């Protein structure tokens, strides 16, 4: 099983690179932001609840995220591996994920972090806002809040994986295909 956590701040390119990785390695994409946006579009109860947090750039509470992820994992069969994108975003979520995967005996192989500095992140998100239609891309205050939430709550998740000897990083600045190649060489080391 090739379970990978693709990690990085908002705008680091996790979504873009995940799409390429999952095609090459036949993995299942588990992107919590995408799942929430799907619920939001379908106006489900979960979507309406998540919207309150997402539109401000805050994190959706752990118990909501964790049960959604657990459900998705349980419903996926014949999987070679998952690529987790935007999850885990808190230490609580990381511990919950380990517990879920331990029960199934399919642990996380590696967290790979995309390193991108703050100015570049802001530029990318502002650029994306022209086409994303995302409420949380729309104002500089919301973007700044997301980066702050990342620094406070999400960054420590990298230390959790470092402690378990499951951390590596890749420079996320440059041409998309070159970053992809660097990610592939990290992934190939795992298989
Ligand atoms: P980005 O990383 O570009 O900010 P995402 O699509 O990953 O975008 O997430 C969008 C929003 O969805 C987050 O700002 C947050 O409100 C919510 N969200 C996504 N994943 C999680 C998570 N694991 N825990 C809590 N909230 C989440």
Backbone angles phi, psi at 81, to 5 degrees: 175, 165
How many structural domains are present in the chain? Answer: 1
C-beta separation of 47 from 80 below 8 A: no
C-beta separation of 24 from 35 below 8 A: no
Cα gap 69→82, rounded to integer Å: 11
Q: Provide the 10 A C-beta neighbour count for residue 92.
A: 16
Q: What is the CATH number for 121?
A: 3.40.50.300
**Cα of 175 to ligand 1 centre, how many Å?**
24
Tens of pLDDT, residue by residue over 29-44, are 999 999 999 999 999 9
Tens of pLDDT, residue by residue over 128-186, are 999 999 999 999 999 999 999 999 999 999 999 999 999 999 999 999 999 999 999 99
Ligand 1 nearest atom to the CA of residue 9, by list position? 2
**Full domain range(s) for residue 19:** 4-188
Pocket mutation for ligand 1, best pick of 33, 47, 157 (most atoms within 8 Å of C-beta) = 33
């Amino acid at each position: 099983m090739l379970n990978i956590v693709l990690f990085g701040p908002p705008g680091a390119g996790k979504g873009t690179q995940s799409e390429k990785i999952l095609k090459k390695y036949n993995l299942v994409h588990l992107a919590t932001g995408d799942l929430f946006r799907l619920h939001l579009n379908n106006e489900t109860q979960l979507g309406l609840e998540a919207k309150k947090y997402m539109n401000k750039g805050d994190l959706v509470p752990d118990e909501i995220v964790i049960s959604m992820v657990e459900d998705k994992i349980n419903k996926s069969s014949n999987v070679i591996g998952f690529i987790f994108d935007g999850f885990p975003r808190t230490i609580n979520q990381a511990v919950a994920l380990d517990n879920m995967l331990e029960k199934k005996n399919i642990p996380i192989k590696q967290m790979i972090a995309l390193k991108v500095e703050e100015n570049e992140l802001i530029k990318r998100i502002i650029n994306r806002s022209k086409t994303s239609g995302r409420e949380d891309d729309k104002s500089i205050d919301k973007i700044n809040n997301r980066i702050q939430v990342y620094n406070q709550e999400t960054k420590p998740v990298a230390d959790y994986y470092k402690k378990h000897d499951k951390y590596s990083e890749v420079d996320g600045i440059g041409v998309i295909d070159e970053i992809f190649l660097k990610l592939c060489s990290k992934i190939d080391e795992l298989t």
